[in-house]
C-alpha cells in the first residue's frame, strides 16, 4: 500500500509541480503586500507629524470642497485606529479615486497606487498571467491553477502516508534535517521533513484557495460549514443598501461628525470607521474575518441612527467569504500568523523543486 501511495505521490506531482511552486511562491510574496505598499508610500499613508487633535469632518470637508472638480463630491471618509495613519477620502465621478489627507493639517498627501510588481505577482498567482476570455470560453490560467492546487492537496496527503514512521526511533529520525551528510541528504530531509512541518498550513491555504477556482468546490465547502454560498457569482462584494429618507432634505456633511463621534464612543477598539452618505461602517477588532464590519444607516437630515446590522448577528453565509480570505492569507492572527504562513508558503514552493531533484537523482544518477 505504501508503494502505491509513493507512486501516486510522484505521478500527481510531476506534471504540475512547477505550477505548484509558482502558486506557493507568489502567494508568499503577496502575504506582506499591504505592509510593503504602505512602507513604500509612507508619505501618503502616514502623517509626517502628529498634531494636538485631528480636524473634524466638517473642517476636512471645508478644506477639500474648493479643490473638487465641478459636480464632484466627497463619497466617504475613513478614519483609522492608528493616530499616524492618514484619513482616506473617496471622491465621486468624474475623477473617482481615493485620496489620503493629513487629518491634523488638512493637507492632501496624494493617491496611493498598487505596486506594479504586486499586480503582476497577483495575476501569476491566480491565473498564470492569463486573462479571462471575453467570449466566455475556458479560463485556462485559472483552470490550471485550480487543478494544480487540487493535486497539491492529494500530493500532501500521500506524502504524509509515505512519511509516517513505524516506531518512535524512526519518528525522531524523520523529524530532523541533517546538515552534515552532504547536499543530497540535506535536500532529501528538506523535502521530507520540511513537507511534514508545513503540511497543515499548506493544506489550509490550498483548501481555502480552491474556493476561488471551482464553483462546485465552493458550494461544497460552504455546505460543510452549514451554510450556502452567496447567490450569483458568489464571491463578489455585496452592494451597499440604500435608505429612503422622508422628504427632500439635502445631504449634510455636518452630521457626519456627530455620527462618527457616537460610533467611535460606542466602539473604542474599532480598527477603522467609514462615514458616507446615509451610511457608516465600523471594523470591529478581535474577529477572524479582517474584512468584517458593522453597518449603520442614518438620517442625512438629522444625523439620527436609523438601523444597525452588527457583524456578529449576520448569518454564516455572509461571514464565510471574509473568514476564508483571512485564513487563506494568514492575517487573522496579526504578524505572527502572517510570518508562519509566509514560511509555510515558501516551503510549499521548495517542495516540488526538491522532489524533481530527488526523482532525477534516483532515476538517472543512481549508483550501480
Give pLDDT tens digits for 28-44. Answer: 999 999 999 999 999 99
pLDDT at 23 over 90: yes
Question: What is the structure's pLDDT at 252?
Answer: 60
| Percentage of the chain lying above the pLDDT 70 cut | 93
pLDDT at 306 over 70: yes
Question: What is the structure's pLDDT at 53?
Answer: 94
Same fold yes or no, 49-112 and 252-314:
yes
- What residue ranges do the domains of the chain occupy? 2-35+118-227+326-364, 49-112, 252-314
Q: Which residue has the cell 494544480?
A: 148
Cell of 39: 512602507
Question: What is the structure's pLDDT at 93?
Answer: 83
pLDDT at 248 over 80: no
Question: What is the structure's pLDDT at 246?
Answer: 42
Question: What is the structure's pLDDT at 244?
Answer: 44
Q: Residue 218: what are its φ and ψ, rounded to 5°?
A: -60, -45
- C-alpha dihedral, 310 to 315 to 318 to 320, nearest 10°: 110
What is the fold of 252-314?
Nuclear Transport Factor 2; Chain: A, (3.10.450)
> For residue 269, is the peptide bond before it cis, meaning its omega torsion is within 30 degrees of 0?
no
**The model's pTM:** 0.89
Question: What is the structure's pLDDT at 241?
Answer: 40
Average pLDDT on 78-102 reads: 94
Question: What is the structure's pLDDT at 237?
Answer: 39
Of the listed ranges 27-36, 115-124, 218-227, the one predicted with least confidence: 218-227
pLDDT at 94 over 50: yes
Of the listed ranges 18-22, 176-180, 282-286, the one predicted with least confidence: 176-180
Question: What is the structure's pLDDT at 245?
Answer: 40
Nearest to 285 by CA among 306, 263, 268, 307: 268
Average pLDDT on 269-291 reads: 94
> pLDDT band at residue 243, thresholds of 50, 70 and 90?
very low
User: In the sheet where 305-309 sits, what is the strand order?
Assistant: 108-110, 97-101, 87-91, 74-80, 272-276, 279-283, 294-298, 305-309
CB 319 within 8 A of CB 228: no
- How far apart, in whole angstroms, are the C-alpha atoms of residue 49 and residue 47? 6
Q: Bigger pLDDT: 246 or 313?
A: 313
Q: Bigger pLDDT: 54 or 93?
A: 54
Of the listed ranges 90-99, 100-109, 212-221, the one predicted with least confidence: 90-99
- How far apart, in whole angstroms, are the C-alpha atoms of residue 81 and residue 300? 25
Question: What is the structure's pLDDT at 260?
Answer: 96
- How far apart, in whole angstroms, are the C-alpha atoms of residue 211 and residue 321? 9
Question: What is the structure's pLDDT at 231?
Answer: 65
Thinking of the domain 49-112, which architecture would CATH place it in?
A: Roll (3.10)
Question: What is the structure's pLDDT at 229?
Answer: 84
Nearest to 337 by CA among 347, 329, 349: 329
Question: What is the structure's pLDDT at 98?
Answer: 95
> pLDDT band at residue 8, thresholds of 50, 70 and 90?
very high
Find the helix packing angle between 2-31 and 33-40, rounded to 10°. Answer: 20
Query: Using one digit for the tens of pLDDT, what is the confidence trace for 55-68?
Result: 999 999 999 988 88
- How far apart, in whole angstroms, are the C-alpha atoms of residue 225 and residue 247? 44
Cα 18 to its chain centre, rounded Å, is 23
Nearest to 309 by CA among 268, 271, 279, 265: 279
Query: Using one digit for the tens of pLDDT, what is the confidence trace for 317-366?
Result: 889 999 999 999 999 999 999 999 999 999 999 999 999 999 998 888 76
Of the listed ranges 23-37, 64-78, 239-253, 283-297, the one predicted with least confidence: 239-253
| Percentage of the chain lying above the pLDDT 90 cut | 75
Q: Bigger pLDDT: 96 or 124?
A: 124
Amino acid at each position: 500500500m505504501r508503494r502505491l501511495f509513493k507512486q501516486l505521490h510522484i505521478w500527481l506531482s510531476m506534471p504540475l509541480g512547477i505550477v505548484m511552486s509558482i502558486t506557493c511562491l507568489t502567494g508568499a510574496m503577496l502575504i506582506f503586500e499591504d505592509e510593503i505598499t504602505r512602507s513604500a508610500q509612507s508619505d501618503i499613508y502616514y502623517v509626517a507629524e502628529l498634531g494636538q487633535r485631528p480636524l473634524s469632518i466638517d473642517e476636512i470637508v471645508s478644506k477639500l470642497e474648493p479643490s473638487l472638480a465641478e459636480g464632484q463630491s466627497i463619497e466617504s471618509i475613513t478614519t483609522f485606529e492608528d493616530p499616524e495613519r492618514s484619513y482616506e477620502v473617496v471622491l465621486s465621478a468624474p475623477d473617482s479615486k481615493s485620496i489620503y489627507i493629513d487629518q491634523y493639517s488638512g493637507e492632501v498627501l496624494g493617491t496611493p497606487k498598487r505596486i506594479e510588481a504586486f499586480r503582476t505577482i497577483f495575476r501569476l498567482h491566480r491565473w498564470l498571467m492569463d486573462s479571462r476570455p471575453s467570449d466566455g470560453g475556458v479560463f485556462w490560467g485559472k483552470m490550471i491553477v485550480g487543478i494544480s492546487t487540487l493535486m497539491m492537496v492529494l500530493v500532501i496527503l500521500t506524502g504524509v502516508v509515505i512519511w509516517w514512521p513505524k516506531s518512535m526511533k524512526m519518528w525522531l529520525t524523520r523529524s530532523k534535517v541533517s546538515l552534515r551528510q552532504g547536499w543530497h541528504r540535506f535536500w532529501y530531509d528538506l523535502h521530507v521533513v520540511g513537507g511534514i512541518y508545513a503540511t497543515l498550513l499548506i493544506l489550509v491555504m490550498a483548501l481555502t484557495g480552491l474556493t476561488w477556482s471551482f464553483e462546485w468546490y465552493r458550494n461544497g465547502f460552504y455546505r460543510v460549514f452549514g451554510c450556502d454560498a452567496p447567490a450569483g457569482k458568489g464571491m463578489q462584494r455585496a452592494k451597499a443598501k440604500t435608505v429612503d429618507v422622508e422628504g427632500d432634505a439635502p445631504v449634510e456633511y455636518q452630521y457626519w461628525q456627530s455620527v462618527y463621534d457616537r460610533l467611535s464612543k460606542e466602539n473604542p477598539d474599532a480598527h477603522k470607521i467609514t462615514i458616507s452618505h446615509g451610511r457608516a461602517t465600523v471594523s470591529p477588532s478581535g474577529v477572524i474575518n479582517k474584512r468584517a464590519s458593522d453597518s449603520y444607516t442614518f438620517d442625512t437630515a438629522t444625523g439620527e441612527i436609523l438601523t444597525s446590522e452588527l457583524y456578529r448577528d449576520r448569518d454564516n453565509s455572509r461571514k464565510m467569504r471574509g473568514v476564508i480570505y483571512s485564513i487563506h492569507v494568514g492575517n487573522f492572527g496579526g504578524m505572527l500568523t502572517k510570518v508562519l504562513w509566509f514560511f509555510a508558503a515558501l516551503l510549499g514552493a521548495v517542495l516540488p523543486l526538491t522532489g524533481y531533484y530527488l526523482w532525477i537523482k534516483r532515476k538517472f544518477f543512481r549508483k550501480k
